[in-house]
Structures are given as C-alpha cells and as structure tokens.
Chains A and B, each alone.
Chain A
Amino acid sequence: NAGVTQTPKFQVLKTGQSMTLQCAQDMNHEYMSWYRQDPGMGLRLIHYSVGAGITDQGEVPNGYNVSRSTTEDFPLRLLSAAPSQTSVYFCASSTTIPGLAGGGTDTQYFGPGTRLTVL
C-alpha cells in the first residue's frame, strides 16, 4: 500500500493563479480531509468528504473547492490564489470520521504534505 499520496510536494504561485492539489489513498477509506498547517495555529480543517459524491466544509473553506468523484481521490482546488493561502497542506484519510462522538479511534493517515507559496 502506498497509503496517502500528495502531489506536488512544493509549489509557487502568483496571486490570482489557480491550481489543484492532488490527493489519493489506496486503503479504501471513506473519510478524507484537507488541512492547512500554519505556524502557531496547528492544523485547521478546510474541507472533508465522508464518501464518494459527498463533501462538506470545514473550519476554513473560503477560497478552496473540493470534489470526490471516486473513493480514492480527493483533489483540492485553489480558485484564485492569495498570499494568505501560503501554507503547508495535508490530506488525510480514515475509515471513520475523526473526532466523532462514539466514533472510535481509527487511525487517521496523513500524506507527506504540499508546501505552497503564493507571491
């Protein structure tokens, strides 16, 4: 198993450009999510999906779109990049929804991250 893979590892964009961060998992996990990691702020949830065709907003969804056409893939699209979106982005997957009351302790697997700089 490759686990959770993300591409690209690094990306530099100019303000206003758009791009898609790719995420794939081969563990047949229903739940997938995107986080951004900023210094002193921990991980913040951007969007998540509980299965193919189902997505929902997390804590900081503005400026990002997602889709989930297959169980394996969960791309994150930046529509018009802004300097405030400079961050490290992590994709994660698990069998159940992390943090759900009574949801158990299934491990959430993280990808290696994409470091994005917006100039």
Chain B
Amino acid sequence: GEDVEQSLFLSVREGDSSVINCTYTDSSSTYLYWYKQEPGAGLQLLTYIFSNMDMKQDQRLTVLLNKKDKHLSLRIADTQTGDSAIYFCAAGGGATNKLIFGTGTLLAVQP
C-alpha cells in the first residue's frame, strides 16, 4: 500500500532552524499536510501545500515540495522551546482517496 515515511527524532538548539523531512510513495497525491501534536493533545493542522506548488511560507514555517522525488520538508525558523512536539506529515487526494499519515518526528528543542 501507499506509505509516508519520516525520521523519528530531531534535536535542535533554541534559535536554530529545524528541518523535518518526509517522503511519500503515492505520486498522485494532491495535498501534503503537516500536523503538530503537543504532549497529551490531539493533532493540529499546521499547514498544507498543493502538489502543483514548490514552496509555501507562513511566518516561521516554510514547506518545500519536490514532487519528482516525492519529498516534503518543513522548516521552522528561529525554533523555540514551544515548538517541541511531534510533527506528522500526511499525503492525500491521491488515487487511494485516503489520508496517509507518516510515523511522526519528535522535535526536541534544547534551551
């Protein structure tokens, strides 16, 4: 079946930039999402990008999409301790008509 993969853990220092990477297998995916899960809470949609876009910027967040390589990344500028969370990538709008979530990346921000 279709799959979305992420690295499990990323550690950065406060003030640095964080880059969380994701790869997906369904080349027909039309929407790629980033969700944030804070400790003890449900998932919250952070941002999304359409497959016909290369980049989307929203304040400190920059999403880059390489459709050829089926690679998505989320860059967080000036990372703060409040950004510590699990970040999920998800792909949807493709041939499966399903939303497929990645395994999540735990971002730890060191003060």
Contact = CB atoms under 8 A, between A and B. Distances in A.
B7 to A, nearest CB: 11
B43 A110 contact: yes
Contacts of A107: 45
A110 B42 CA distance: 5
Contacts of B103: 40-42
Interface stretch (A12-20, A73-81, A93-101): A93-101
Contact of B42 (A41, A97, A100, A113): A113
Nearest to A41: B103
Interface string B27-49: 01011010000001111110010
A45 interface: yes
A99 B98 contact: yes
Interface string A94-119: 00011111110101101111000000
Interface of B: 4, 8, 28, 30-31, 33, 40-45, 48, 88, 90-104
Contacts of A97: 97
A92 B60 CA distance: 27
B45 A108 contact: yes
A24 to B, nearest CB: 14
Interface residues of A, number: 24
A63 to B, nearest CB: 20
Given A42-B104, A107-B45, A108-B99, 4 more contacts: A99-B91, A99-B96, A111-B42, A113-B42
Nearest to B91: A99
9 contacts: A90-B43, A92-B42, A99-B99, A99-B100, A100-B97, A103-B92, A108-B43, A110-B42, A112-B42
A98 B42 contact: no
